[in-house]
Amino acid sequence: MHLRRGDSDAWRLDTSAGSYFVKGYLPSAGDLGQLARAMAFERSALRAGVPMPRPVTPLRPLLGWLTQIEGRLFRAHHWVPAGPAVDVSAWLAQTMLQVHQLPPLRPGALPSWWRGCVRSAEVWEGWLLAAGRRDRGWAALLEQCLPTILAVTSRISAIRESVPDLVTTHGDFKPHNVIMSPSGPVLVDWDSVRTDSTALEAARTAYIFAAGNPDRVTRILATYTASGGNLTWPGTDLFLSVLRNHLQVLTDQIDVSLGNTAPARWMPAALEDAISNNLRSFPRRTTALNQLATTCATQLANRLL
């Protein structure tokens, strides 16, 4: 049964021996080096008891759990049967911390994917001029938003060369990668393993799962810190990874609108409207996330007293 099409295809395979989740990688998503690094980390998570599906070793492995069929890479996991829906807040915080503790923390520079949205003031001003010349409907909005964009860019630049808690991590803590099994939630899709700051990833993940609800964000982060996580160093930059993502989306969309790059498959058909909406909301989002960082710091400090 075909389940999903995207950067990879996925199927459910039912056999006399059991049911399996099979993933087939497209050439653009089948980077063997990245998959090898991801599988090595996945093995360490399995050994540590992180709740996750059991991989299947193929009869003719190419590398680890990967096999190659007609030039395409495939791998399989045992199928995870559906269980009851539960609040994953506490589980999420504890599982994140468990994953963050697999390798040792170290100081270091944030990875390259953090830097894609960092453009100079000259680049942004050039885009503003180009938008005006091409009569883009969002040009005036960009002019209004530019001081906020440059301020956020400056904050990212200030921390990207060194954070105290760089770590290898799952890299894609998202609701669609948490499956409810009969024994509880399970973390799936380990292909995006990468490095990140533990504090910044924890804050971004809490924000995503809580859909921005301040009380639930704080509850997730309170469990994370109570279990041993450290969120103190970013201060008001605690949710900077969320802002970085918003800025990256905006940067990519403007680059496409001005004809500098081809559109990615995730971009909406009504691109100009999306850019206008993102520019209108970016200052408001920035203020709200700064306030949330202050609120979280205060509430977490009170919980620890």
Helix runs in the chain, H state only: 32-48, 89-100, 121-133, 139-160, 198-209, 214-226, 240-257, 271-304
- Residue 205 and residue 182: Cα distance in Å, rounded? 24
Q: Answer whether 253's CB lies under 8 Å from 271's CB.
A: yes
**By three-state DSSP, how is residue 239 classified?**
coil
Q: Answer whether 272's CB lies under 8 Å from 259's CB.
A: no
What is the reported pLDDT for 299?
Answer: 81
**By three-state DSSP, how is residue 28 classified?**
helix
Q: What is the pLDDT of residues 188-209, one digit of tens each?
A: 999 999 999 999 999 999 999 9
What is the reported pLDDT for 167?
Answer: 97
What is the reported pLDDT for 28?
Answer: 60
Kindly report the number of other CB atoms within 10 A of residue 304's CB atom.
9
- Residue 208 and residue 173: Cα distance in Å, rounded? 9
* Pairing relationship of beta strands 67-69 and 106-108 according to DSSP bridges: unpaired
What is the reported pLDDT for 10?
Answer: 84
Mark the ranges of the chain whose per-residue pLDDT is less than 50: 305
**For tokens 């393993």, what's the residue?**
193
**By three-state DSSP, how is residue 277 classified?**
helix
What is the reported pLDDT for 305?
Answer: 43
What is the reported pLDDT for 304?
Answer: 56
Q: What is the pLDDT of residues 229-283, one digit of tens each?
A: 999 999 999 999 999 999 999 999 999 999 998 888 788 889 999 999 999 999 9
